[in-house]
Amino acid sequence: MKLLALTLAVFAACCGFLFVSTASAQGVIVPIICDMRPCRPRPIPQPLPNALPVKSIELTTKIVGQVATTHVEQVFRNDTPYTLEGTYFFPIPETASIVEFAIWENGKKLSGEVRSREEARRIYDEIVRRQRDPGLLEYAGRDLFQASIFPIPPNSDKKLELTYSQVLKAESGTVAYRYPLGTGHNLWRRGPQTGDTPRGSVPQKFGTISGTIEITAKQGIRNVYSPTHAIDVKNSSTNAVTVSFETKDNDNDLQLFYGLSNGDFGMSLVTYREPGKDGYYMLLLSPKDELAERELINKDVVFVLDTSGSMADEGKMEKARAALLFGIRTLRDGDRFNVINFAGEEHLMDSGLTPANAAGKKRGEDFVAKLRPSGGTNINDSLIAAVKQFEKNERPKMLVFMTDGLPTVGERNVEKIISNFKAASDIDVRVFPFGFGYDVNTTLLDKLGMENAGIADYVQPKEDLEVKVSNFFSRVSSPVLSDLEIDMGGIEAEFVYPRKPGDLFKGMQIAMIGRYKNSSELRNATVTLRGKMGKEARSFVFNGLDLPFRDDTNDFLPRLWASRRVGWLLDQIRLNGETKELKDEVVELGTRYGLVTPYTSYLATDGTLNNTVDRARLDSMMRAAPKAMAEQSGAGAVQFSVQQNSRNRNFQIVESEKKDARERVLVDNSSVNQFVANKNFFNQNGVWVDAEYAAAAKLKEVSIKFGSEEYYKLAASDRDLAKFFSLGEEVTVVWKGQVYKVSK
């Protein structure tokens, strides 16, 4: 079968039966029934899918320096009893060029040809105006690859291959790579035989999405980071990294960042700024992997393990013992440690800190092997005994506290336990509490972490205790720089989270997220990193950082910043009580950015606020929120703390936890809620309304008729407006100091 010519254009299904709206999507096949060529339409007994389901996507990318070659294999599934003709389309990244496109048919690979972009632009404009489908506007100003495909046999797969190359942008020492996976809004529109189908009712179906990205460079590769996907990063050398991912339910565009540096510490800067507004930045810091042994700091660690009777339940004791043994074995020869187990009273492995040499580790392993669960839970005395093990010196000090229960013996009052711990500790100790299960006091553990430069973590009943605690020990086994301070120089930074960067460990990277308010573009800015390597104060200077006055490429940043800000605000409410100012800001940020909070969880199921029932339910939730945050124990309290900690981490989330953390914090797109290009929209009686509209009463309103000349002119002149208009035929959006109201 001869393959039809390929065109860089938006899709146009033969005979105009069916169209689909998508946002920055990977390849999609839009089908129609066509038993012979040329296509002769016939009555359709049932509606076709708006796009063929994607059975699998396999991405293979090789990046050499800043030149990326991306090869993607996509397998689509035709589950209908019909022979279909389809129109395939794929959004081409800026600066990219097609290397090869092929369709597999009867086990043979058939290649195609490419036509001019001018012709593609003409076809695109004609389709947009003729079909009056708002979803098509999303591609205003974009280059799209288009191909006609025939035949697609009934109940069969269709495999396509596409290869393209591009030059990646590098700004402030950070290289960015993006692969379009987003499936958009999946709207149906009327076709001659399909009738009307409710918008948003049938989502695009995705199967397995996997990929491998190989990066090689002349400089060291640092700060590999993805804000969108859980990735696995393997370094074959300083200058070569392999990134892999696999997902079945994350169809967001894949975004990947990495820095290039040969220094002892690498710094990467990512920015975002809309015209006339404050900017956002993310600063990533990491030490080089091949740090000399002399550059690592010797540390003192005290492990405290709850061995009360409840630890016998569900095999917790055996898993905790395995995790603790792992922690001891990760210690370096220059480290010192002790192990304390507690129930009704505490028991020490030794009267002081033991050198972590072979003999010391063997002593620790023997002590842990003999631990058995029995008795009550005396948290107060065990904490005091633990902190007294440390000496006044320049070594980093870490207290790892693991428990599965509430204080039942000795002092039980949380505030008094915290106060007693402070009184007993006159030195700087990092405290890392771990709670096992739901019968823990989250207020106690969270405060221990927050007030002592650490962070609490929780192992819920369905999670693997051994794996989670072992991951922690791996992260903090080799400190490199302690007591970090970051001087932003001429960057007017504010609302930076976390408030303190803490310590930096080998193999770890710190993510600082904040806003900047420089009134003009800032070029060649300087950032200085200061800290201690043992007794020695060290500083590292990073030059050539740029903060543009406008940069709309990294629109994930404001939402990420808002999540951190909300985490800090909720901590203040938990610690100091609710005030109207704190509550109102949480509500505003949660609504504006689509975040799950005790005050805005309603967004997850219902985005409307215009009727009495919704307002009453929201008011009821706000009254219940302080009570929910005041809960100290139980599943709800633990899950709230887990959500908070996922916002507050000063380091990149362990990749296996990233998906869960995202789901805990961000509201997913749905038929009533869409987050598009850094804006949150609610579907209010069929109209997509910008969350910022409620506060835009004084702005000028511009009314636009859907499909009018003015409508198309605006969409063509402003790519961002085109994205917002693509939500539907009725949209209200606040943009550049005006309110645009699109109506039918």
* Fold of the 6-260 domain: Immunoglobulin-like (2.60.40)
* 194-230 pLDDT per residue, tens: 333 333 333 445 678 899 999 999 888 989 998 888 8
Return the domain boundaries, the chain: 6-260, 268-293+480-552, 297-477, 555-668, 686-744
Question: Encoding tokens for residue 603?
Answer: 């967004």
- Burial class of residue 4 in the structure, from the number of CB atoms within 10 Å of its CB (0-12 exposed, 13-18 middle, 19+ buried): middle
Amino acid at 13: A
Domains 6-260 and 268-293+480-552 share a fold: yes
Mean pLDDT is lowest, of 105-114, 282-291, 514-523, for 105-114
Give 318-343 as a DSSP string.
Answer: HHHHHHHHHHHHT--TT-EEEEEEES
Return the top range by mean pLDDT from 23-32, 124-133, 203-212, 319-328. Answer: 319-328
360 pLDDT more than 50:
yes
CA atoms within 13 A on the CB side of 571: 23
Q: Which pLDDT does position 738 carry in this prediction?
A: 92
Q: Is 483 helix (H, G, I), strand (E, B) or coil?
A: strand
Q: Mean of the per-residue pLDDT values for the chain?
A: 79
Better-scored residue on pLDDT, 528 or 10:
528
* Fold of the 268-293+480-552 domain: Immunoglobulin-like (2.60.40)
* 652-700 pLDDT per residue, tens: 433 334 444 444 466 666 777 888 888 999 888 889 999 999 888 889 9
Amino acid at 398: M
Q: Is 256 helix (H, G, I), strand (E, B) or coil?
A: strand
Instruction: Enumerate residues 6+ apart whose C-beta is below 8 A from 42.
Output: 33, 35
Mean pLDDT is lowest, of 80-89, 153-162, 177-186, 282-291, for 177-186
Q: State the average pLDDT over residues 244-256.
A: 80
629 pLDDT more than 50:
yes
Q: Is 32 left (phi over 0), alpha (psi -120 to 50) or beta?
A: beta
- Burial class of residue 195 in the structure, from the number of CB atoms within 10 Å of its CB (0-12 exposed, 13-18 middle, 19+ buried): exposed
- DSSP code of residue 195: B
CATH architecture entry for 297-477: 3-Layer(aba) Sandwich (3.40)
Residue in 180, 128, 93, 141 with CA at minimum distance from that of residue 21: 128
CA atoms within 13 A on the CB side of 739: 17
Q: Which pLDDT does position 648 carry in this prediction?
A: 64
- DSSP code of residue 137: G
Q: Check if the beta carbon of residue 369 is closer than 8 Å to that of residue 321.
A: yes
Q: Which pLDDT does position 483 carry in this prediction?
A: 84
Better-scored residue on pLDDT, 686 or 3:
686
Strand order in the sheet with 6-7: 6-7, 143-152, 84-92, 28-33
389 pLDDT more than 90:
yes
Q: By percentage, how much of the chain surpasses pLDDT 90?
A: 31
Better-scored residue on pLDDT, 550 or 620:
550
